[in-house]
């Protein structure tokens, strides 16, 4: 079975990681390992880690 993650899945996890471990823990490798997928899934949704950081800030404001 293939896991199909959305950008929202990554952002939701990112908020949890941010709350528990701080900003420095928001790294593609660490997040992918937590999700049990490759970094490719992360980069499918976000051009780079800076784009993810911008998206997570926007997501945080919305939730």
User: Using CA atoms in the order 6, 4, 26, 13, what is the torsion angle rounded to 10 degrees?
Assistant: 70
Alpha-carbon distances, residue 40 vs 29, 55, 62 (angstroms): 10, 17, 26
Q: What is the mean pLDDT of the chain?
A: 94
Alpha-carbon distances, residue 6 vs 9, 22, 24, 39, 61 (angstroms): 5, 22, 22, 13, 19
pLDDT digits (tens, 9 = 90+) for 35-60: 999 999 999 999 999 999 999 999 99
Structural domains of the chain, with CATH: 7-62 (1.10.10.60)
Angle between helices 28-35 and 7-21 (to 10 degrees): 110
The model's pTM: 0.90
**Percentage of the residues of the chain whose pLDDT score is greater than 70:** 97
């Amino acid at each position: 079975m293939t896991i199909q993650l959305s950008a929202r899945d990554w952002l939701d996890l990112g908020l949890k990681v941010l709350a528990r471990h701080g900003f420095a823990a928001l790294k593609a490798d660490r997040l992918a390992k937590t999700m049990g997928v490759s970094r490719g899934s992360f980069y499918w949704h976000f051009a780079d880690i800076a784009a993810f950081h911008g998206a997570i800030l926007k997501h945080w404001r919305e939730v």
